[in-house]
Chain A
Amino acid sequence: MPRAELDLLQGTLDVLVLKALSWGPRHGHAVASWIRATTEDDLNIEDGALYTALHRLEKRGLIEAEWGLSDNNRKAKYYELTDHGRRELRQEADRWSRYAGAVFKVLRATRTAAAR
């Protein structure tokens, strides 16, 4: 994937992961599956990139990790949002909607609206 698109993707990934964890702790595979399902695979995210995002978010202190048992009794690493992470998620979501909203306004504008 070209580098520029990759960087943009990393920032986006972070907010997707944070959102994925907003309902409670999940392990990495669950996060991956959920994102793929919700975006209907439109974003073509590599799982490896996702795990990198998870570990980075852990390093930044936005999520914390704990080993636990999965449904089928296997050892899995569960991730959970911290308070800091929750705040970050809110801010990022806010910024994204404003950003997207602004872009959307421009794209929907008619010629007359621009002339005025």
Chain B
Amino acid sequence: MEEEIEQEIGFHLDEEIRGLVSAGFTREQAEGEARKRFGSITDTRESLARIDRERRMQERRASKFQDLVQDVGYAFRGFRRQPGFALMVILTLGLGIGANATMFGVVDRLLMRPPAFLKHPDRSGRVYLRRPVPDGAERIDNNISYRRFQELSAARSFEAAAAFYDDQQHAVGSGESARRMDVSLVSASFWPMFNISPALGRFFGEDEDRTPGGSPVVVLGYGFWQSEYAGDRGVIGKQLLVGPRPYTVIGVAPNGFNGMSARRVAAYIPITAGAHDEFGDRYFATHNISWLEMLARRKPAMSAEAADAGLTLTFQQSLDAQPENRPEMIARSRAELTSALYQRGPNRSNEARVAVWLAGVAAIVLLIACANVANLLLGRSLRRRREIAVRIALGAGRRRLLRQLLTESSLLALMGGAAGLLVAHFGGGVLQRALLPGVDWSTVPLLDSRMLVFAAAMVVITGLLTGLLPAWHAGRTDLTVSLKAGGREGSRSRARVQTGLLVAQAAMSVMLLVGAGLFLRSLRNVHSIDLGYDPFRLIVVQPIMRGERLTPSERGALTQRLLDRARTTPGVEKATLTFGVPFWRSNTIDLFVPGRDSLTGLGTFYQNLVAEDYFEATGTTIRQGRPLTLSDRSGPSRVAVVSETLAEKIWPGQDPIGQCVKINADTMPCASVVGVARDVRWGSLGDNDRMQIYGPMNLEDSGWLFIRTTGKPALLVEPLRRELQRLMPGAAYVNVLGVSSTLDFVLRPWRLGATMFTLFGVLALVVAAVGLYGVIAYSVTQRTHEMGVRAALGAKRGDLLRLVVGEGIRITVIGIVLGAAASLAAGKFLASLLFGVSASDPGTFILVAVVLLGVAGLASLIPAWRAARADPTSALRAD
């Protein structure tokens, strides 16, 4: 380029000089004049070079853009010619990307996204206290006492600190609308730790949050304000019953704010006020009540380690002030500021683990989908290999062709990504609520910027994964082979690559299906456990006094009234009293039997106090003897009913009826066993919690009601609640729910695992089957000529079928073997999530193999059938 400029300038000067000389100048004079007229040559040279460089860049960009437009247009024309292909690809990718985007949203919520509006989340966190316990281990607590909170707040590591307690079962409201809601008890210093201002009114301040009892003021949650008060702006000053006493509404929190809770918070009250209601004056004087959590933000200048060190020091000083703490225990105690997200702290629950597992599963599904699409694109590009060869021969650069193929796959990935976002938008909501019920998803828009970025990344990865393979393969096209008419032998490497992809798909499908099978079996095992009672016909009624004081006889009268009213309610078959509810409320005791040493080694003994009709109402049938009756309540002798396992373990081989058992102390009078009942699973689903002993309950005890319904309990819950609520005095109310919902919590992990794995497993299977079908179909059309030859040489239809199906089966078998090996290896990590089935359960593996082979056989059979039906002569002539 510089040469041209030189030439141009040179030409000009020469011409100018020539003209001047012919006008009479001498050579030298002419040169001088020419240069003078020109001006600075070096400057001009530079300017021209710069301008030309810019022009070239402009042209290159324009031509690149033109190329891109051309490629896109070409790709779209190709899609229009084969809409089925394009649709299938987009659908496949859409499902894969959509599943991943949704799972990303869930994992993001649990593990990555800090609480909304939190200031400086990188410097903020929850405080965890570590203390050594006698047997050498370490106890990690994030629940601390109010006094400890006050002492730790003074730590120099902190810029700000607040106390909070998210109560999911706080009584709110009065009369018929009394309900348990999510109420957050927060210190006044909580509000400034977030970037928020009230939607209405104001937040409470230090004056309203002083020990001992704070002020009864409440800030409403935005959603609660909308649903309960219809957004009435005159709500300020109104009274709301929170816990046992009325609180005055002073403000409304902004939309999307839920403090540190993932759930929708209905109201916020000062922590001192709520604590006083619950614990009286004791809560701030002692260290014994550890209930609240601490949110803190360290100073910007301090590193995390330095802040933790300073905090530990303050913690140790606080421990030291308690005379009962031993110095060596204090020395080994630590305090630290960990993530603001509970699921990232040391006490995380299973939810996060399950979510991460499922995200991994979704990623596998996407990989399968990508493998599928890559295969399809590969097949397609090979169908066009002659066209590609001609284009290369005519001078199109290989790079240009590569770019064109990549453009195609990128376009497909882009459209797949758009489809995926649609899937995430509509299906995602369902998934989120199934995975994490109770979490307030409204604070996280389904399609927010992080998910869009994630989806975009997925699109890029997918486009590359699916496009590079065929592009690379096309780049290695041997021109002469492809140009020859009837290049029908097909390249070896093509077959290997396609087969490899199919094997990978089959292997991954196996892994997912095995997971699904194991979870389904776990679920079935869990469902088929004999719980010992009928949860699907039972309702539990929990009377909550909420500060109303009743004498024991008044309480007894109330209980009787509740029982009587319940018994006359239509739809109620039986009503009885109980102290405990399985998985919810229980009482463990020590038992003593005369003439025996301690019984503690036998396991856990659960005691339940029950009224008459209990065993009939719950379905816990009596195997021997008799149930407890009305007369047992105030009868002269003490009686008890025991469960089968208890009888078996304490009096093996003997008749338990009439035996003597002493409850809680050896000095207690005997209770005589009058009946043996079916075992009930009380504390967990394992085999160790099956020993119960039942005694008669008095009306004055704080018993709950068990109601047996004739029909479905769900239909009776609300009518029953209304009926019984009328009997409750003052601010007291009843909590009524079906017993089966207490089981939901216990069953959820397996239900979840089974649902998700099955869903994804079936998806993977469908995608893999479609992929296999596509590849076999293509391979068959390529081998039409070969089929024709074979048929002409005497092969029968059956032989041809066997040939093609055999290929499909062979691929699948290899995939199954690899997938099974991978599943066995990964099984260790899954084992803790299963129930009653081992991670290498052979039955499941065999079933999965059979299913996969069946599907693969079918997917190969269809194209094979069509090939075998082809007319041999036209096949021979085919190209």
| Interface residues, chain A, with chain B CB atoms under 8 Å away | 27-29, 32-33, 46-49, 51-52, 55-56, 58-59, 67, 70, 74-77
B41 on the A face (CB < 8 A) = yes
The listed residue (A49, A52, A67) touching B51 by CB distance below 8 A is: A52
Contact call B55/A58, Cβ cutoff below 8 A: yes
Contact call B39/A49, Cβ cutoff below 8 A: yes
In the bound complex, residues from chain A placing their C-beta under 8 Å from that of B39 are 46-49
The listed residue (B8, B15, B58) touching A51 by CB distance below 8 A is: B8
In the bound complex, residues from chain A placing their C-beta under 8 Å from that of B16 are 29, 32, 47
Contact call A75/B11, Cβ cutoff below 8 A: yes
**Nearest A residue to B19 by beta-carbon distance?**
A33
Minimum-distance CB pairs A-B, first 5: A46-B39, A48-B44, A48-B39, A59-B55, A47-B38
In the bound complex, residues from chain A placing their C-beta under 8 Å from that of B7 are 75, 77
A65 to chain B, nearest CB (A): 9
Q: How far is the CA of A28 from the CA of B52 in the complex (A)?
A: 16
Known: A51-B44, A55-B48, A59-B54. A27 touches B11 (CB 8 A): yes
B40 on the A face (CB < 8 A) = yes
Q: How far is the CA of A47 from the CA of B55 in the complex (A)?
A: 21
In the bound complex, residues from chain B placing their C-beta under 8 Å from that of A28 are 8, 11-12
Known: A46-B39, A47-B39, A52-B48. 9 other contacts (CB 8 A): A27-B11, A28-B12, A33-B19, A51-B8, A51-B12, A52-B51, A55-B55, A56-B51, A75-B7
Contact call A74/B11, Cβ cutoff below 8 A: yes
Sampled A-B contacts (5; CB under 8 Å): A47-B38, A51-B12, A52-B44, A55-B47, A75-B7
In the bound complex, residues from chain B placing their C-beta under 8 Å from that of A52 are 44, 47-48, 51
B496 on the A face (CB < 8 A) = no
**Nearest A residue to B38 by beta-carbon distance?**
A47
In the bound complex, residues from chain B placing their C-beta under 8 Å from that of A59 are 51-52, 54-55, 58
Q: How far is the CA of A13 from the CA of B44 in the complex (A)?
A: 15
Contact call A48/B55, Cβ cutoff below 8 A: no
In the bound complex, residues from chain A placing their C-beta under 8 Å from that of B11 are 27-29, 70, 74-77
Contact call A77/B4, Cβ cutoff below 8 A: yes
Contact call B43/A48, Cβ cutoff below 8 A: yes
- Count how many pairs of residues, one from A and one from B, have CB atoms less than 8 Å apart in the complex: 63
Which of A28, A29, A48 neighbours the largest number of chain B CB atoms within 10 Å of its CB?
A48
B81 on the A face (CB < 8 A) = no
**Nearest B residue to A77 by beta-carbon distance?**
B8
In the bound complex, residues from chain B placing their C-beta under 8 Å from that of A33 are 19
Q: How far is the CA of A46 from the CA of B41 in the complex (A)?
A: 10
A5 to chain B, nearest CB (A): 14
Q: Is the interface of A mostly helix, strand, loop or mixed?
A: helix
Q: How far is the CA of A32 from the CA of B40 in the complex (A)?
A: 16
Contact-residue size bin, chain B (C-beta under 8 Å from the other chain): 20 to 34
In the bound complex, residues from chain B placing their C-beta under 8 Å from that of A51 are 8-9, 12, 44, 48
**Nearest A residue to B43 by beta-carbon distance?**
A48
Q: How far is the CA of A75 from the CA of B3 in the complex (A)?
A: 12
Q: How far is the CA of A47 from the CA of B10 in the complex (A)?
A: 12
In the bound complex, residues from chain A placing their C-beta under 8 Å from that of B12 are 28-29, 32, 47, 51
Interface residues of B in 1-56 (CB under 8 A from A): 4, 7-9, 11-12, 14-16, 19, 37-41, 43-44, 47-48, 51-52, 54-55
Q: How far is the CA of A46 from the CA of B8 in the complex (A)?
A: 16
A9 to chain B, nearest CB (A): 12
B705 to chain A, nearest CB (A): 89
Q: How far is the CA of A74 from the CA of B15 in the complex (A)?
A: 10
B52 to chain A, nearest CB (A): 6
The listed residue (B43, B52, B58) touching A55 by CB distance below 8 A is: B52
**Nearest B residue to A59 by beta-carbon distance?**
B55
Q: How far is the CA of A59 from the CA of B47 in the complex (A)?
A: 12
Q: How far is the CA of A67 from the CA of B40 in the complex (A)?
A: 24
Interface residues of B in 320-368 (CB under 8 A from A): none
A71 to chain B, nearest CB (A): 10
Contact call B37/A47, Cβ cutoff below 8 A: yes
In the bound complex, residues from chain A placing their C-beta under 8 Å from that of B43 are 48
**Nearest A residue to B62 by beta-carbon distance?**
A61
In the bound complex, residues from chain A placing their C-beta under 8 Å from that of B51 are 52, 55-56, 58-59
In the bound complex, residues from chain A placing their C-beta under 8 Å from that of B19 are 33
The listed residue (A29, A48, A49, A75) touching B15 by CB distance below 8 A is: A29
In the bound complex, residues from chain B placing their C-beta under 8 Å from that of A49 are 39, 44
B441 to chain A, nearest CB (A): 54
**Nearest A residue to B34 by beta-carbon distance?**
A47
Q: How far is the CA of A52 from the CA of B11 in the complex (A)?
A: 15
B554 to chain A, nearest CB (A): 98
In the bound complex, residues from chain B placing their C-beta under 8 Å from that of A58 are 51, 55
In the bound complex, residues from chain B placing their C-beta under 8 Å from that of A56 are 51
Q: How far is the CA of A74 from the CA of B8 in the complex (A)?
A: 11
**Nearest A residue to B48 by beta-carbon distance?**
A55
In the bound complex, residues from chain A placing their C-beta under 8 Å from that of B47 are 48, 52, 55
In the bound complex, residues from chain A placing their C-beta under 8 Å from that of B48 are 51-52, 55
Contact call B38/A46, Cβ cutoff below 8 A: yes
**Nearest B residue to A49 by beta-carbon distance?**
B39
In the bound complex, residues from chain B placing their C-beta under 8 Å from that of A77 are 4, 7-8, 11
A85 to chain B, nearest CB (A): 15
Contact call B58/A46, Cβ cutoff below 8 A: no
A42 to chain B, nearest CB (A): 15
A6 to chain B, nearest CB (A): 11
Q: How far is the CA of A69 from the CA of B444 in the complex (A)?
A: 71
In the bound complex, residues from chain B placing their C-beta under 8 Å from that of A47 are 12, 16, 37-39
Which of A49, A55, A59, A76 neighbours the largest number of chain B CB atoms within 10 Å of its CB?
A55
B750 to chain A, nearest CB (A): 70
Interface residues of B in 140-177 (CB under 8 A from A): none
B831 to chain A, nearest CB (A): 70
